[in-house]
Amino acid sequence: MLDTLQDPSAWLMFTVPLIGGFAIIVHINSGEDFATTDYFLTHPHWSRDLVLASDDQDRIGPGLCWPELAALLEAPADAAGVTDPHARLLLLLPVLGDAAVPEEAVTAVAEALAAQGAPEASETLAGRLLQGHPMWGAEDWWFDDDGESWLCGGDHSSRKVPLGDHLPPPQRAALAACLTPR
């Protein structure tokens, strides 16, 4: 698997389908001297994608708080792409950077690790993974009622402003519904 991930001719892409036609595209760029991973939030009616996170030289992140990530674990019915909740959690976990993850997050990540083949007792590893990506760590998040979006206090986060604030109101509302826990 490592050879596949590092193969410069195989830039892997995973699609994490979300409700309302949205998706998060995980794009792994393998180069001779570098490897980066970009996370794009897409919709078929948008003219450009939103960057949730990127670990390239510009380092953009974190891109999700725990309430958002937890809301994205279940795939829509009949979706194509990554639909297993455990795989979705582990694939999107690097985008997370939340200083206030609840205790149930450790359990959820440990269960996902075990479901994907890690040893059953993975709570320590799960706790470490929830401390945030090494490039941006864990940051403070708060819900902005006016913007109907989670905001992040991280220096490198694109989430300092409401996500999709440039979108027309109907698209913005659909995006908020997609990421807001029910």
When the pLDDT of each residue in the chain is averaged and rounded to a whole number, the result is 88
Report which of 89, 67, 65 is spatially closest to residue 157, judged by C-alpha positions.
65
Band (pLDDT 50/70/90 cuts) for residue 181 is: low
For the cut 70, the answer to whether the pLDDT of residue 175 exceeds it is yes
For the cut 90, the answer to whether the pLDDT of residue 96 exceeds it is yes
Range picked from 55-64, 67-76, 156-165 for highest mean pLDDT: 67-76
What the block records as the tokens of 73 is 């674990």
Q: What is the pLDDT of residue 5?
A: 58
Domain count, the chain: 1
How many angstroms separate the Cα of 73 from the Cα of each of 28, 66, 92, 97, 165?
21, 11, 9, 16, 24
Q: What is the pLDDT of residue 163?
A: 81
Q: What is the pLDDT of residue 148?
A: 81
For the cut 70, the answer to whether the pLDDT of residue 10 exceeds it is no
The domain in which residue 25 lies consists of 2-179
Q: Which residue has the higher pLDDT, 182 or 152?
A: 152
CA 88-99-117 angle, 5° bins: 30
| 107, amino acid identity | T
For the cut 80, the answer to whether the pLDDT of residue 32 exceeds it is no
